[in-house]
């Protein structure tokens, strides 16, 4: 099954590794699990992306 949620631990290369999933009342996968991320790693990733987009805007 295709999956667009690249943050879920069950998504690999655009596919869900679970054979059967449940959809909640919002239309979201009920089995979706987000990995815990260290705040410092997340902050660094955000700054890296922000810098990338700022450089693209200068071009």
Residue 57 pLDDT exceeds 90: no
Counted domains in the chain: 1
Q: Please, which residues have CB within 8 angstroms of residue 21's CB and are 6 or more apart in sequence? A: 1, 29, 30, 31
Q: What is the pTM of this model?
A: 0.63
From CA 58, how far away is CA 42, in angstroms rounded? 25
Name which of 18, 23, 26 is nearest 1 in CA terms: 18
34 in any annotated domain: yes
29 in any annotated domain: yes
5 in any annotated domain: no
Using pLDDT thresholds of 50, 70 and 90, give the confidence band for residue 54: very high
| Host domain of residue 50 | 11-58
From CA 10, how far away is CA 16, in angstroms rounded? 6
4 in any annotated domain: no
Using pLDDT thresholds of 50, 70 and 90, give the confidence band for residue 59: confident
């Amino acid at each position: 099954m295709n999956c667009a949620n690249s943050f879920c631990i069950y998504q690999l290369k655009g596919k869900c590794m679970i054979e059967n999933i449940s959809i909640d009342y919002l239309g979201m996968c009920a089995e979706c699990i987000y990995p815990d991320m260290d705040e410092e790693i997340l902050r660094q990733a955000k700054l890296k992306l922000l810098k990338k987009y700022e450089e693209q805007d200068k071009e």
